[in-house]
Amino acid sequence: MAKIFLPSTGGTTPRGCTAPRLVGADAAPDLPLGWRSPALRKRSRHPSPPGERRPPVPARGDRSPGAPRPTWGPSGRGGHSNPNPLRGAPPLGLPGGQSPGPPGGAALYDRFQVPVLQDLVIQTIFQFCYKDSFINHMNEEHHRNQEWKLQLDTVERKIQGEQDKFSDIVKVPGIDVYTNLPHKVVGFLKWVTTARNASLILKADDDTFVNIELLKNLTHGYKHDGLAWWSVFHHHHTVPLYGKWSDADYPALAYPAFPAGAGYLMTGVLAQRVNAAAGFVQAYGGEDVSLGIWVAAVAGSTKLFSVPCWIPHTGCSQTVLIPQLTVTQIKEVWRKHNRIL
């Protein structure tokens, strides 16, 4: 895979690469790209009076512990040098250094009257490292595509073979990737509410063992004609802004209650309600989060049954679901389960 050297605030330059340079009339040659001192960043906002020469700006690592911070411009209160160029500094456009307000007021009108970074030009130079590896990577693109197509064809034949033998697979349109799981669940709910008249519907990941006996005990005596679902629910979960589950679209700081992604049980009435609104809702984050948002929006009166031993944790000898198992582990759990029964 090609490696590209990107500008950073520190570290060493990989062999064969040229470090990015900061170019400009006022740029210090040893100032690393990606970091500028507050003073340098605001120099264009508050120029020095005519005839006053500004001191050079040292790089961050070159400042000694006792060295004064580089400041310029008008002095602040008491005749001392002003550490903040925005306090007491006359903005551009006011003749003779006149200030319309007390010190510190410049911050109120600065964004409207002061041009930003007019005399600073930053030029970033990127250079490929390991050029031969990058060229080889590009030349092998056709070969990789052929291998991936062969892999997809093999998986498709296996799926069709299982479908022909057991008739237990439903195909929904779309690419089977993690970000499309909400749409996959919508396709499942659409099929199960139109092709089957089920009173209870369980969604579980394919790497999860389901204890049917415990499920029967949970729902025993409950009328299945209402809005209800069972799982272990997450409440007041903060919306993540980075990582696998990052969500930049949801407009609030926390999600409504949503179930465990490994699996959840719902009544057929609730599934029908969600399916009826599928064309009007938006997918957010994962499918568990999306379903929680949809239920809160279209079926706010739904009863939530949070099951303590829904998934394994300390204090539970048996659980309804055991997620993240290999095929071999699922078979072993199934054999143990049958011996117990």
* pLDDT reading at 142 higher than 80: yes
Question: What percentage of the chain exceeds 70 in pLDDT?
Answer: 61
Under DSSP, the state recorded for 54 is P
* pLDDT reading at 159 higher than 50: yes
> Of 232, 211, 168, which is closest to residue 333 (Cα–Cα)?
211
Calculate ∠ Cα 246-247-249, nearest 5°. 160
* pLDDT reading at 162 higher than 60: yes
Give tens-digit pLDDT for 284-336.
988 999 999 999 999 999 999 999 999 998 889 999 999 999 999 999 999 98
Does the reported pTM lie above 0.85?
no
Query: Mean pLDDT over residues 188-207, rounded?
Result: 92
**Per-domain boundaries in the chain:** 1-129, 192-340
Give residue 221's pLDDT band: very low, low, confident or very high (50, 70, 90).
Answer: confident
Residue 77 to residues 74, 86, 88, 89: CA-CA distances in angstroms?
A: 10, 13, 8, 11
| Pairwise pLDDT comparison (25 vs 205), residue with the higher score | 205
Question: What percentage of the chain exceeds 90 in pLDDT?
Answer: 46
Give residue 66's pLDDT band: very low, low, confident or very high (50, 70, 90).
Answer: low
Calculate ∠ Cα 159-261-169, nearest 5°. 20
pLDDT score for 45: 45
Residues with Cβ within 8 Å of residue 341, at least 6 apart in sequence: 213
pLDDT score for 310: 96
Structure tokens at 97: 């250094």
Cα–Cα distance between 31 and 58 in angstroms, integer?
Answer: 7
Give residue 259's pLDDT band: very low, low, confident or very high (50, 70, 90).
Answer: very high
The dihedrals phi and psi of 321, each to the nearest 5 degrees, come to -120, 145
Query: Mean pLDDT over residues 71-80, rounded?
Result: 39
Which of the residue ranges 29-43, 100-114, 124-138, 279-293 has the most confident prediction, judged by mean pLDDT? 279-293
- Per-residue b or e along 262-275, where b marks 16 or more CB atoms closer than 10 Å to that residue's CB: bbbbbbbbbbbbbb
Give residue 44's pLDDT band: very low, low, confident or very high (50, 70, 90).
Answer: very low
* pLDDT reading at 67 higher than 70: no
Give tens-digit pLDDT for 112-122.
344 444 444 44
Give tens-digit pLDDT for 236-251.
999 998 888 889 899 9
Query: Mean pLDDT over residues 209-232, rounded?
Result: 91
